[in-house]
Amino acid sequence: MKAVNVGLLGVGTVGGGTLEVLRRNADEISARAGRTIRVVKAAVRDVTRARSVSMDGIALTADPFEIVGDPGIDIVVELLGGEDIAKQAVLQAVDNGKHVVTANKALIALHGNTIFEHAQRRGVMVAFEAAVAGGIPIIKSIREGLAANRIEWLAGIINGTSNYILSMMEAEGSDFDGALKQAQALGYAEADPQFDIAGTDAAHKLTILASIAFGIPLQFERVYVQGITAITLTDIIYARELGYRIKPLGLARRTAEGLELRVHPTLIPQPCLLANVDGVMNAILVRADAVGTTLYYGAGAGAEPTASSVVADLVDVVRAITTDPENRVPHLAFQPGLLAAAPMLSIEQIETAYYMRLNVLNRPGVLAAITKIFGDSDISLETVLQKGFPKDSDPESRSRSRPEHGKSNQRVTIIMLTQKTRERNFSVALKKLSQLEAVDDNIVRIRLENLS
């Protein structure tokens, strides 16, 4: 049978890995796909630069649109990253009747609804397994493997760079910036690593997961996003002492009132499997009504793990090329006309537990005043721990309370875990706490999920 011609947009970390895997496993891949897959053309910014992977037999261009307009190309693999050129190129490829494989989560989360509409109209596939959790086949698992189920919630470590940074801080005492540099050198980080550490990349991925899990359109703007930049080694150590680990978590849950979609650092109990996912590894727990809880684990970033998903999509597309477009697996799992709107909760409406660290004056009555605020707000405390004031604490935190004559100005650190409460309730209590003269301003609050 005639070979399938592929045009590759981007030969960076993932593009290079994809070429490598396609070459190394060529025979096995074509035996699975039923046809030979041949990369005939590739686009890069700098065509003169030497590449770590051989470009023999591949025509190079600096113009991605030359590839999407080439009638000899059957499948376009978009591995450029970013939104602008990638969006134009993918839409043009689709409109030109080409199937597309992409690893670009920003593109799918922000423009997927439009792209899939075009693809549906043109009868082509747009596959995006590599866009979520690198090498883990999570899209296929939810979209196809769990098709019998009503999915209740899913929770995952879905940004390898953030997990790598927090793991290195905890395991080796690395500083944040040093760990980020290492993640960049290993090819894990986005071109702009702010996307990783500010939680945006995980929010892109959660948008996609929520859509295929709950049958809703892609709605990135509804995700609450908080990154890992405020996490310090101090909190990592206290959390561990209390039996928890701090992980960058993405969580999507159905509740009676609506859907909650959130990304933030989270304390997770140490015995929980997710708490033990370290380095660049990702894992996603999915709770569904028929199967119960399933766990998906693997490398969340890097050249070949991500290429594994890209090539799997290529094989899927090649197998499906001859299938009736109306009877293919729908892009977002549910038939396009049956994607339903669902109410979404704001972060203030969600329920979760909290870890809190506050520096307070070591005087009688202070702890009582703090616990009274929680009692008045109907928030139950799970654990209260008092520690000496850490030496590396922010000196500005001392500025609020002045020494009172005859009274101690010594500080202590209080660590508290609360039971589950509504975020709105907790925010009110937090505001009252911050108004206490004896409590320093820099209260640390990290959400905690038992994932049970």
Residue 248 and residue 199 in contact, taking contact as beta carbons nearer than 8 Å: yes
> Given the rule CB under 6 A, which of 12-20, 232-240, 361-369, 395-403 is the region that contacts ligand NDP?
12-20
Name which of ligand NDP, ligand HSE, none residue 12 binds, using a CB cut-off of 5 to 8 Å depending on partner kind.
Answer: ligand NDP
DSSP 181-228: HHHHHTT-S-SSTHHHHTSHHHHHHHHHHHHHHHT----GGG-EE--S
Burial of 292 (0-12, 13-18, 19+ CB in 10 A): exposed
Q: Rounded distance, CA 286 to CA 444, Å? A: 29
Cα angle: 95, vertex 99, 101; to 5 degrees: 120
Least distance to ligand HSE from the beta carbon of 187, Å?
Answer: 9
Residue 432 and residue 371 in contact, taking contact as beta carbons nearer than 8 Å: no
Under DSSP, is residue 61 helix (H, G, I), strand (E, B) or coil? strand
Name which of ligand NDP, ligand HSE, none residue 64 binds, using a CB cut-off of 5 to 8 Å depending on partner kind.
Answer: ligand NDP
Q: Which residues pair with 224 in a beta bridge?
A: 262
Ordered alpha helix ranges (H), 262-340: 303-320
Helix (H), strand (E), coil (C) string for 368-422:
HHHHHHHHHCCCCEEEEEEEECCCCCCHHHHCCCCCCCCCCCCEEEEEEEECCEE
Ordered alpha helix ranges (H), 293-377: 303-320, 366-376
Q: Rounded distance, CA 382 to CA 374, Å? A: 11
Does residue 156 touch ligand HSE according to CB under 6 A? Answer: no
Q: Rounded distance, CA 341 to CA 260, Å? A: 13
Backbone angles phi, psi at 175, to 5 degrees: -85, 160
Buried b (16+ CB within 10 A) or exposed e, 274-290: bbebbbbbbbbbbbbee
Single residue of 5, 6, 7, 15 touching ligand NDP by CB under 6 A: 15
Name which of ligand NDP, ligand HSE, none residue 104 binds, using a CB cut-off of 5 to 8 Å depending on partner kind.
Answer: ligand NDP
Does residue 69 touch ligand NDP according to CB under 6 A? Answer: no
Residue span 347-386 as binding mask against ligand HSE, x where in contact by CB under 6 A, dash where not: ----------------------------------------
> Given the rule CB under 6 A, which of 188-196, 365-373, 404-412, 424-432 is the region that contacts ligand NDP?
188-196
Name which of ligand HSE, ligand NDP, none residue 81 binds, using a CB cut-off of 5 to 8 Å depending on partner kind.
Answer: ligand NDP
Terminus-to-terminus CA distance in the chain, angstroms?
51
Least distance to ligand NDP from the beta carbon of 314, Å?
Answer: 15
Q: Rounded distance, CA 64 to CA 96, Å? A: 14
Does residue 13 touch ligand NDP according to CB under 6 A? Answer: yes
> Given the rule CB under 6 A, which of 27-35, 78-86, 185-193, 342-350 is the region that contacts ligand HSE?
185-193
**Is 105 noted as a catalytic residue in this protein?**
no
Single residue of 15, 17, 134, 137 touching ligand HSE by CB under 6 A: 134
Q: Which lies closer to ligand HSE via its Cβ, residue 163 or residue 359?
A: 163
| DSSP E strand boundaries for 17-61 | 37-43, 59-61
Under DSSP, is residue 299 helix (H, G, I), strand (E, B) or coil? strand
Backbone angles phi, psi at 257, to 5 degrees: -95, -20
Name which of ligand NDP, ligand HSE, none residue 15 binds, using a CB cut-off of 5 to 8 Å depending on partner kind.
Answer: ligand NDP
Least distance to ligand HSE from the beta carbon of 126, Å?
Answer: 17
Single residue of 79, 168, 216, 417 touching ligand NDP by CB under 6 A: 79
> Given the rule CB under 6 A, which of 18-26, 184-192, 312-320, 391-399 is the region that contacts ligand HSE?
184-192
Least distance to ligand NDP from the beta carbon of 205, Å?
Answer: 9
Residue among 87, 105, 140, 205 flagged as catalytic: 205
> Given the rule CB under 6 A, which of 100-108, 330-338, 339-347, 434-442 is the region that contacts ligand NDP?
100-108
Does residue 188 touch ligand NDP according to CB under 6 A? Answer: yes
Give the interface with ligand NDP as residue ranges (CB under 6 A).
10-15, 43-46, 49, 62, 64, 79-81, 85, 103-105, 130, 134, 187-188, 190-191, 301-302, 306
Give the interface with ligand HSE as residue ranges (CB under 6 A).
134, 159-161, 188-190, 196, 201, 300-301
Instruction: List, by residue number, the catalytic residues.
Output: 205
